[in-house]
Amino acid sequence: MKQAFIFPGQASQYVGMGRDLYETFDIARDVFDEANAIMEMDLKKICFEGPEDLLKQTRITQPAIFVHSIAVFKILESQNKLAHATAGHSLGEYSALVAAAALTFEDGLKLVKKRGELMQEAGTQKPGTMAAIIGLNPEQVDELCAGLENEGVVQAANFNSPGQIAISGDVEVVRKAIVKAGEKGAMKAVELVVSGAFHSPLMESAQTGLAEALRSTKFQNAKVPVFSNVEAQPVQDKEAIRNLLLRQLTSPVLWQQSMENMIKAGFNVFYEIGPGKVLKGLLKRIDRSVSCREVGTVEDINQLGELA
């Protein structure tokens, strides 16, 4: 049995996240308290009490999910429950890198804080949006976007699971794509509530700031393979990791391909580490033959038992 830890990205947040961990485990308390000091704000209070509108802001959402995920991971690590590989969806890739010892928690949170601020700022400078397209295959979505390339920016942003792909780009072009997706036979095409066109060229203005932050951050070679969003392949080399994180801002998230490649490599037991169970749902649609359990609360941890 080969097990992998997978880490969620934006949209998995909820008011109250992490409170039970904080109240139960000293190690989780340390993580949240250290996060408050690094963030120079009461992130813990926003996670535990909201308000939801503030928690949903990209600059807050990303650190909140990262901190919750690492609090869970640190608890499991203290119980000697470890994985043979990791992966994370978009923002979750930073959590995956901390779990693989390529980044420290402090450096990871500083990068996530900067990334969230830069992405929110880029969304203000070049307003964009995203949409979920249900029921079309990757070729159909690429064809759909190519047919609108003269109108402005629109491209596939997340290949999440079979028949579930997110597109990203200029607001009006994405809305045109929603209409055309319906004409192509999509079961559903709906605009998402996001603060920018993530994983598209509209995020390019965030790349300069992130490149600088990545350059000044110390990376280690990962102790276990991390399957990257950009290439869907395992990576452990620290310089390759640094480069992939920069490319990730404007490149599609190859989540379905990453999971398929992990399964081909023999990983058959997955644990979603952090808030929610979005990735568990995606994995069920990708391959029902593998198991996935969400681990985000004290109850989840207590029911976990022994990991191999």
Sort 294 into a burial class: Cβ within 10 Å, 0-12 / 13-18 / 19+: buried
Question: Residue holding tokens 């759909």?
Answer: 144
CA pseudo-torsion sign 259, 272, 239, 62: positive
Q: Measuring CA to CA, how many Å separate 206 from each of 9, 59, 66, 172, 198?
A: 18, 13, 19, 22, 11
SS3 157: strand
**Whole-angstrom distance, CA of residue 113 vs CA of residue 147:** 36
**Whole-angstrom distance, CA of residue 164 vs CA of residue 200:** 17
90 given a catalytic annotation: yes
**Whole-angstrom distance, CA of residue 107 vs CA of residue 252:** 24
**Comparing C-alpha atoms, which of 53, 70, 65 is closest to residue 9?**
65
Q: For residue 172, what is the enclosing H or E element?
A: helix 171-183
CA pseudo-torsion sign 261, 193, 123, 131: positive
199 given a catalytic annotation: yes
b/e map 16-34, b = 16+ CB within 10 Å:
ebbbbbbeebebbeebbee
Catalytic pick among 12, 69, 89, 90: 90
Catalytic pick among 12, 89, 95, 199: 199
Which tokens go with 194? 């996001």
Please answer whether residues 158 and 121 qualify as being in contact, where contact means their C-beta atoms are separated by less than 8 angstroms.
no
**Whole-angstrom distance, CA of residue 59 vs CA of residue 117:** 5
Query: Which sequence positions are flagged as catalytic?
Result: 90, 199
